[in-house]
Amino acid sequence: MAGALQYVCLLLTFAVPIHECVAVRQDPKCVTGEPCFDLGTVETMARRVSKDLIYADGENILLKHNSFDKIRKKKELHSCVLEKIIDLFENVLITTKGKSSMPHEGDLDHHLELIHIMHRLRNCVFKVKKGCDKLYDNAYENSDITRPSKKSEATEAAIEQLKKLKYASDRLDDVKIQEKVMDELKSLHLYMPGKGFRKKLNN
């Protein structure tokens, strides 16, 4: 009887962790497949269609990482911001399509490929159930751009990032804005990973 009881306890010991992993199979620790998208591909292709620019302090469109990391830690905020980041890059890619002086590699048009990649990345972003409208409304009430202070909370950083994105989006015809967006596209892969980025496609 004691032997049978020990056997049952042993089974339960192994069964519980297996069940936990199955129950949360979308948790990154339990996902065994490939990531949703190889973000290094974006950087490689972006380098072929952009110039290297030097920015004055505060001119960048994407927040510096110490500020953006506050957003990244909040899954829903990160997702809402990523949607607008992808919108901007996709719109600039479409606007500048055919204007790039960079040569193609054989039949591969890196510019066109990047437009398709933006669509794929959008499918990788975590979908916020309640939507992002409230955050967007808060961000666009005042269009003045001010840099977030060191004490900024995640929401304040997200609003600041959205203001910068809107400022650039409203000036898509400006060649300098286009070049700046294309240059920052090279670092997009550093902003995507995190809780707001799915490890696998569900569809």
- Exposure letters 165-203 (e unless 16+ CB within 10 A, then b): bbebbeeeeeeebbebbbbbbbebbebbebebbbbeeee
DSSP label of 128: P
pLDDT of residue 149: 47
The residue among 99, 120, 72 whose CA lies nearest residue 182 is 99
The whole-chain average pLDDT of the chain stands at 74
Whether the Cβ atoms of residue 40 and residue 186 lie closer than 8 Å to each other? no
Query: Which residues of the chain carry a pLDDT beneath 50?
Result: 7-33, 148-151, 200-203
**Which residues have CB under 8 Å from 70's CB, separation 6+?**
152, 153, 154, 157
Taking the C-alpha atoms of residue 84 and residue 136, their distance in angstroms, rounded to an integer, is: 10
Tokens of 110: 């890196």
Give the model confidence (pLDDT) of 128-162 as tens digits.
Answer: 888 899 999 988 886 555 554 444 589 999 999 99
Among left, alpha and beta (phi > 0; psi -120 to 50; other), residue 64 is beta
pLDDT of residue 16: 39
The residue among 115, 95, 57 whose CA lies nearest residue 179 is 95
